[in-house]
Amino acid sequence: MRSKILISTTLVTTVLAAGLIGAKLGSNSLKTKPATSHRTSSAKQVNNPPVSSPATKHSAVASTSSPWSANKSQQLAKFLLNWASQMGQHYESYYPGHDFNLYGVIFPPPLTNGTMNLQPAVDVHAIDLQWSDDGTGNHDYNLVAVYGGNASSNDRYPVLTMYLFTLHNGKPEVLVTQQNQGNPEGYLYFKPTDNQALASGFTSIVNHN
């Protein structure tokens, strides 16, 4: 009789122990679900929109800079020295306060002090021309540099030549004149230079940042 009671007690104890083990296993399996959910949430955060790159920001700033500067003026001076040497000529830089005398026409001060006796013109049309230190302004032609000199190899018969380096509606353009007398229209006639090396050299300097 006692043996039966012991056997039944042992069976009950075994069943209870198995139940507790099963309950613990079930509890551990439930705890793994939140971890799986966390991994999925972190993966979604990778798809955020990209932030603007530093290169993009730099190009935006560069695009708003002025087309002309003191550094570009120095580059033009070096270019003109080499170009004129190849041509066998000599040109000097002129600006307000350092004037070029083109057969009695003093330039460029009249652009800034209102004493222009001859109106600058291209072809047969008067032009809106004004001096500009940085190439910007509310004028059709913003003048950033003036170079003048003798285009003749014979010093006894000089051919005075004046080059105007301008931003024409924002685009680089070199104008030239050798006018040596007045005219009934009262114009100082210019034309775009035919020298492609000079024109392309100026354009390259303006467009180089």
Average pLDDT over residues 137-143: 94
Bridge partners of 142?
A: 130, 167
| 82 or 58, which is more confident | 82
Q: Is the per-residue pLDDT at 13 higher than 70?
A: no
Q: Find the domain containing 38 and state its range.
A: 2-48
Q: What percent of the chain has pLDDT over 70?
A: 67
- pLDDT band at 160, cuts 50/70/90? very high
**In 10 A of CB 196, how many CB atoms?**
8
Same domain? For 82 and 21 the reply is no
Please state the pTM of the whole predicted model: 0.68
Q: What tens digit of pLDDT does each residue of 81-125 get?
A: 999 999 889 999 999 889 999 998 889 887 766 677 889 999 889
Q: What tens digit of pLDDT does each residue of 25-51 get?
A: 344 443 434 333 333 333 333 333 333
> Would you state the pLDDT for residue 110?
79
How far, in Å, CA of 82 to CA of 161, rounded? 17
Same domain? For 122 and 190 the reply is yes
**Residue 54, in any domain of the structure:** no
Kind and range of the H or E element at 14?
Answer: helix 2-44
How far, in Å, CA of 71 to CA of 38, rounded? 58
**Residue 200, in any domain of the structure:** yes
Average pLDDT over residues 169-183: 95
**Residue 60, in any domain of the structure:** no
Same domain? For 40 and 77 the reply is no
Number of domains into which the chain is organized: 2
Average pLDDT over residues 172-192: 95
How far, in Å, CA of 141 to CA of 111, rounded? 12
> Would you state the pLDDT for residue 115?
74
**Residue 40, in any domain of the structure:** yes
**Residue 55, in any domain of the structure:** no
